[in-house]
Amino acid sequence: MTLFRAALLDLDGTLLDSIPDLAMAANAMRVELGMDVLREDVIATFVGKGVDNLVRRTLAASLEGEACDEALFQRALESFYRHYHLVNGDKAVVFDGVLDGLKAMRELGLKLAVVTNKPTEFTLPLLQRTGLAGFFQAVVCGDTCERKKPDPQPVQHACALLDVAPEYAVTIGDSLNDTQAGRGAGTRVLVVPYGYNEGVDVRTLEVDGIVATLVDAADWIARDGAVLKTA
């Protein structure tokens, strides 16, 4: 048995490769505004801090997301939402190891939650379309709480929904956003190396472990939780 009682998982870049859909919507937005399209791998570096930041970065074609005219930003945001609703889930793919990892976590008796910066109106349909919705007892989205990751509030809220104290939870993500949110909330933190980390090497992050897949994450939880319980 493991001491841990819950796993809180990021969505984009941890559970799902959603870049093809996000890039399609972002480029459709740019074309609508009279701009050239960007490479998919460039747009991938813009993902991680919510839709507003993705839109600002895509407008600027820069990770810094320089300030732009507010009217232009609102036009761009409306355009992105419209285009993303059309393609959300069309080409998103569940990463290797996710289904087996989630099953293993469930067999360990863990409560599972998604904690994402993606808005609710995109998150819930995406979980349904990819067949992941049934694994999770709670879903905390970018508009659920007053603040988004990297603030710890969404992680704390997920723990409250699951009725699990943060010290008995593990946050699993792919970026600095996730590690800061998990650390700030008082959970343990694992990262996967295959996601969207805004160009930051996950080996530089303050984490309890780097796991190649969610199967490895389940193994870590079982092993380290048992150690904690007997210590």
**Angstrom distance (rounded) from CA 116 to CA 139:** 8
Please name the residue ranges forming H helices in the chain.
Answer: 19-32, 40-44, 51-60, 70-87, 98-107, 120-129, 153-162, 176-185, 214-230
Contact (Cβ atoms closer than 8 angstroms) between residue 1 and residue 224: no
pLDDT for res 230: 45
Beta bridge partners of 9: 114, 172
Average pLDDT in the chain: 93
Mean pLDDT, range 69-92, rounded to an integer: 96
Cα 80 to chain centroid distance, Å, stands at 19
pLDDT for res 11: 97
Mean pLDDT, range 130-155, rounded to an integer: 97
Contact (Cβ atoms closer than 8 angstroms) between residue 161 and residue 185: no
Q: Summarize pLDDT for 161-213 with one digit per residue, the tens.
A: 999 999 999 999 999 999 999 999 999 999 999 998 777 788 889 999 999 99
pLDDT of residue 231 exceeding 50, the answer is no
pLDDT of residue 226 exceeding 70, the answer is no
Mean pLDDT, range 137-150, rounded to an integer: 96
Mean pLDDT, range 114-140, rounded to an integer: 97
Residue positions annotated with a catalytic role? 10
Contacts of 22 (CB under 8 A, 6+ apart): 12, 43, 47, 54, 84
Q: Who wins on pLDDT, 134 or 70?
A: 134
